[in-house]
Structure formats: C-alpha cells, structure tokens
Amino acid sequence: MYPAAFEYHRPTSIQDALGLLAKHQDDAKLLAGGHSLIPLMKFRLAQPKHLIDLGRIGGLAGVREEKGAVVIGALTTHATIEHSELLKGKCPILPEAAARIGDPQVRNMGTMIPPRTGPP
Ligand SMILES: Cc1cc2nc3c(=O)[nH]c(=O)nc-3n(C[C@H](O)[C@H](O)[C@H](O)COP(=O)(O)OP(=O)(O)OC[C@H]3O[C@@H](n4cnc5c(N)ncnc54)[C@H](O)[C@@H]3O)c2cc1C
C-alpha cells in the first residue's frame, strides 16, 4: 500500500515547525518516529496533505534532570528511556515499561508522544 500524495517538510527549528503547523493547520501532521503514523498513511486511514518531520530539530530528544524534575524530550525514543540510568534511578517503571514495547527496531524509532486529542 502506498500513502496518498503529501508534501514533506523538514524544519530544523521549533519556530519553523510551529510556522508550518500554523500555516497548514488540520492539513498537517507531525512526524516523529513514524511507527504509528506511516502505517496509518499506508492504509490511508490518515491522509495528511503536509507531513512535518521533527527529526532534524535539535534538542527535542533525551532525558535530563532540570531544577529537581526529570525532563523527557518529545523526540525521546523508547530505547533511550529503556536504557536511561537517570530514569532507572528516579522512575524505574518507565524503563521497565519501555523495554516491553514492540521489538528493538520499534523501540529505536518510536518516541514518547503526548496523549492524542483527536484522530491520528
Ligand atoms: C511493530 C510495532 C509494534 C509496536 N508495539 C507497541 C507496543 O507494544 N506498545 C506501544 O505502546 N506501542 C507500540 N507500537 C507503537 C510505537 O511504539 C509507536 O510508533 C510510538 O509510540 C509512536 O511514536 P512515533 O515516534 O512512531 O510516532 P509517529 O508515528 O511519528 O506519530 C504518531 C502520532 O503522534 C503525533 N505526534 C508525534 N510526535 C508528536 C509531537 N511531538 N507532538 C504532537 N504530536 C506528535 C503524530 O502526528 C501522529 O499523529 C508498535 C509499533 C509497531 C510498528
């Protein structure tokens, strides 16, 4: 199956990504690891006209401690969470849960994503 035609955007800053989202609104979808969205597009259950790939935006991935809180970036993969020593110490349920998601290929690409508020 092939997805419907779409325009591919690869912003390198959050500002540019927000600009694209503001411009294309409901016609646009963000792309992170692609392990949920791409299959949906291939089955044409999702047909965004614009795909905004977040992969080139620096600083969105990783786990760190900041002002006493643990911060997990939006592009942090399941594998990073699985192997994070910080999380193993502070919140071990997350690495334990991440280790049970899919297989290594999925965990190396799939990211933590915010709760969905609408259709995929
Ligand atoms: C073979 C296989 C096995 C899997 N097994 C499991 C499993 O056992 N458990 C499980 O929980 N999941 C499983 N998954 C799902 C996988 O973990 C998801 O792909 C992943 O959680 C979603 O992250 P992604 O980076 O792939 O998102 P994408 O596919 O890129 O995006 C998914 C959705 O989130 C939106 N989105 C992405 N990033 C953002 C962002 N930063 N802000 C706002 N919206 C955003 C996208 O627009 C899209 O609507 C499996 C997937 C596959 C292919």
Task: Specify the CATH number for the domain of residue 88.
Answer: 3.30.465.10
Sequential pLDDT tens for the chain (120 residues): 899 999 999 999 999 999 999 999 999 999 999 999 999 999 999 999 999 999 999 999 999 999 999 999 999 999 999 999 999 999 999 999 999 999 999 999 999 875 554 444
Q: What is the CATH number of the domain that holds 9?
A: 3.30.43.10
Domain that includes residue 17, residue range = 1-58
Residues 104 and 89 in one domain: yes
Whether ligand 1 lies within 6 angstroms of the CB of 99 is answered as no
Cα separation values, 15 from 1, 52, 57, 86, Å: 33, 12, 10, 29
Residues 54 and 106 in one domain: no
Residues 51 and 5 in one domain: yes
CA 120 – ligand 1 centroid, Å = 10
Question: Would you call 115 exposed, middle or buried from its count of C-beta atoms within 10 A (0-12, 13-18, 19+)?
Answer: exposed
Whether ligand 1 lies within 6 angstroms of the CB of 33 is answered as yes
Residues 79 and 42 in one domain: no
Beta strands across the sheet bearing 7-9: 7-9, 50-53, 28-31
Determine which residue's CA is closest to atom 7 belonging to ligand 1.
101
Domain-located, residue 119: no
Parallel/antiparallel/unpaired status of strands 50-53 and 7-9: parallel
